[in-house]
Every structure is written in C-alpha cells, then in structure tokens.
Amino acid sequence: SGLKLTDQQQKAALDVWSRNVVPETAAGDDAIARWSEARGKIPNLPPAPAISPYAVVSEDQPYFQYLNCPNDAFQNATKTLDDRAAQFGLGNANLREWASAQDQVFANCGGEAHAIPATINSGNALLHADRNYQIAAAHFYARDFDEAVIQFDAIAKDRASPWSGISSYLAARALVRKANLVRKDTEQFDRAAMSEAQKRLETIVADPRAGSLHEAAAKLLNFVRFRTEPDKRVVELDRVILQANPPTNFKQNFWDYVLLLSRGEQGEDPSDWVQTFHGMRSNYAAASRDEAAKHSIAQWQETK
C-alpha cells in the first residue's frame, strides 16, 4: 500500500512476527515493592505480608496462571496511602485501619485466600467510601465477580464517592474476568457475561463525562469484541492497518489482526489479499490452491 511504519511500529510488527507479545502491563516487583515501602512508613503496623500477583486459573489447572492484581492496583493503593497520610497523618488510627484493610484486599491476589474487609460505620465520608471500594476490590480479586459487580455499581451511583467515576469501568472488568474464568469447559468464554461487559463498555466510551476512562475502556472493549464480534472486528482492523497514522496501540491491534486471520476471519482488503496468498501455499491441497488462484484473478480483473 506504500505506507511506512515508524521505528516503534516496526519494532512492534517484529515483536508480533516473533510472538514476543507479553502484555506491557504485566505485574512487576517494583510496584509491589513501592507499595510495601509506603506501607512500612506507618508506625505500629505489622510487617507487610507477602503478595503474589498471580492466581491459578482453577484447581484442575494449577499450572495455568493469570495476572490477578496488576501494577495499577498497587500504584493506586500507594497513591491513596500517600493522600490519606497527608490528610490524616502517618500515626493516625484511621490510616492504620485503612492499611490493614488493604492488606486483606491484596491477600486475595494469589487466589488462595478469601479475605473481605469488614464494613465500617465511620462518620468520615471519605473513609466510608474508601472501605466500600476496598470491599468491592477484595470481592473482585477473590473471584466473587457477581458480588463485585453489585458493589462497584453501588459505588458508581454514589457521586460523593471519589471512586464513583472508575467503578463503572471496574464492574465491566469484573464481568470480563467472570466470562473468562467462570465458564463451561465446552465454552471459550461465558457469552452472557461478555455481552453484558460489552454493553457497559460501549456506554462508557460513548459518555463524554467519562473522558478519563475512554482509553482504558476502549482497549478492554476491543478485547471483548475480538471474542464477541470477530467478523466485525477484522473489518475494522483492515481499515486500521491501512491508515497512514495507526493508533498508538498499534502492536495490540496488529496482533489481534494476525490472530483473527489465523482463525479464518476475513473482511475486506488487505485481509482478503493476505488470506488469498495464504491459500496458495504449496502445502495446501490442490483444490484450495486453485480456488485461491481463481479468486486472485477475479479480484484483479475487477479492480486492476
């Protein structure tokens, strides 16, 4: 098509070619270490318990793990601790209570514990909102996805809560997690949960008041639609690939595109062109090669 890739896009394309597609948001010890360091500044608090950000998919599949608590969970906790320490003071009992509850939240990351912080009846609206958010997060990491959705939806409706804005997105994330982990063995994912997540994410992306969530929601929506609407998604990616300035998430789009093509999805050009050449490979049956060749000639005669 005559388009060129930037140096960064070239590297991304080569990463996809070599299957070097480990998510850039993988868990890192730095985020956990920073959280532990910040927590350690609170006096009279027991030592921080060990945290494992990965959990096993199921007891039947102990060698398959998923990232339960990503970097942003620890970054968010560290920032919140700093904010509350600045407001209440490091030696304040309310801060120790908040940190102890956060320890319970992160105890669920490894998938073995089921630790839910207790509700509080604090007269301080901020501490009350914080605890509600911690309870919702704990249910999420403990794989109580239906309860997590209920809790996050309630927080989203509470406009006085500082966690109101992000909670609608987190409810959708809980539904995506449920769709992938709580499903029948014969299914790739739970379609009802994934479809509900799609509706919620589309609402967020279309809401001008949710501007700070648009990028994250759009990325998660692409993840969902790769599964729920692969035929439509491949057509969209056909057009993305032919843009002079592809979006910033070029690597993920290109990797999704390659995967969809490998599964037989085909939209317009260039996927039709790619699939046609793929079908003419020498190790394919003669009938398949002949069909691809005829299609190639027909397309050339139509478009030159």
Among 230, 265, 236, 232, CA closest to 249: 236
Percent of the chain scored above 90 by pLDDT? 71
Could you report the per-residue pLDDT of 82-126, keeping only the tens digit for each? 999 999 999 999 999 999 999 999 999 999 889 999 999 888 999
Q: What is the pLDDT of residue 1?
A: 77
Does the structure show a pLDDT above 70 at 26?
no
Q: Which residues pair with 56 in a beta bridge?
A: 65
With 0-12 / 13-18 / 19 or more C-beta atoms within 10 angstroms meaning exposed / middle / buried, residue 145 is buried
Could you report the per-residue pLDDT of 221-241, keeping only the tens digit for each? 999 999 999 999 999 999 988
CA 153 to CA 162: how far, in whole Å? 14
Specify whether the CB–CB gap between 140 and 109 falls below 8 A: no
Could you report the per-residue pLDDT of 156-169, keeping only the tens digit for each? 999 999 999 999 99
Among 94, 85, 167, 170, CA closest to 125: 94
Specify whether the CB–CB gap between 228 and 206 falls below 8 A: no
With 0-12 / 13-18 / 19 or more C-beta atoms within 10 angstroms meaning exposed / middle / buried, residue 27 is buried
Per-residue confidence band for 201, with pLDDT thresholds at 50, 70 and 90: very high
Specify whether the CB–CB gap between 128 and 120 falls below 8 A: yes
Q: What is the pLDDT of residue 4?
A: 86
Percent of the chain scored above 70 by pLDDT? 97
Q: Which of 27-31, 39-43, 70-74, 137-141 has the least mean pLDDT?
A: 27-31
CA 76 to CA 103: how far, in whole Å? 14
Give the mean model confidence (pLDDT) for residues 272-285: 86
More confidently predicted of 105 and 269 = 105
Q: Dihedrals φ, ψ of 53, to 5°?
A: -75, -15
Q: What is the pLDDT of residue 288?
A: 86
Per-residue confidence band for 278, with pLDDT thresholds at 50, 70 and 90: confident
Q: Which amino acid is at 261?
A: L
Q: Which residues of 72-89 are buried (b: 16+ CB within 10 A; e: fewer)?
A: ebbebbbebbeebbeebe
Q: Dihedrals φ, ψ of 221, to 5°?
A: -65, -40
Per-residue confidence band for 293, with pLDDT thresholds at 50, 70 and 90: very high
Does the structure show a pLDDT above 80 at 61?
no
Per-residue confidence band for 24, with pLDDT thresholds at 50, 70 and 90: low
3-state secondary structure of 61: strand
Q: What is the pLDDT of residue 75?
A: 95
